[in-house]
Structure 1
Amino acid sequence: MASTNPDIDYLITQCGKGNRSAQFEVYNRYYKAMYNTALRIVKDNHWAEDVMQEAFLKAFTKLDTFKGDVAFGAWLKKIVVNHSLDSYKKINRHTAEALEPVLYKVEDEDYKNEEVLDFTNMQVQQVITAIQGLKESYRIILTLLYIEGYDQEEICEIMGITAGNCRTTLSRAKSSLLKNLNIYEERGE
Structure 2
Amino acid sequence: MPYVKVEVTKDGVTREQKAALVQGVTALLQQVLNKDPSLTFVTIDEVDTDNWGVGGELVSDLRRKKAAAPAPSPAPIIGPSVLADTTGELPALLDCIATYLDGLYFADVERLARVFHPRARYFSTAEGSLKELDMPTYFDVVRGRVPASASQQPRYDRLLSVDLAGPHTALVKLECALSPRHFTDYLSLVKEQGQWRIISKVFEVRQLPPT
User: TM-score, with normalisation over the residues of structure 1?
Assistant: 0.25
Larger strand proportion, structure 1 or 2? 2
User: TM-score, with normalisation over the residues of structure 2?
Assistant: 0.24
Please say which structure displays the higher CA radius of gyration. 2
Larger helix proportion, structure 1 or 2? 1
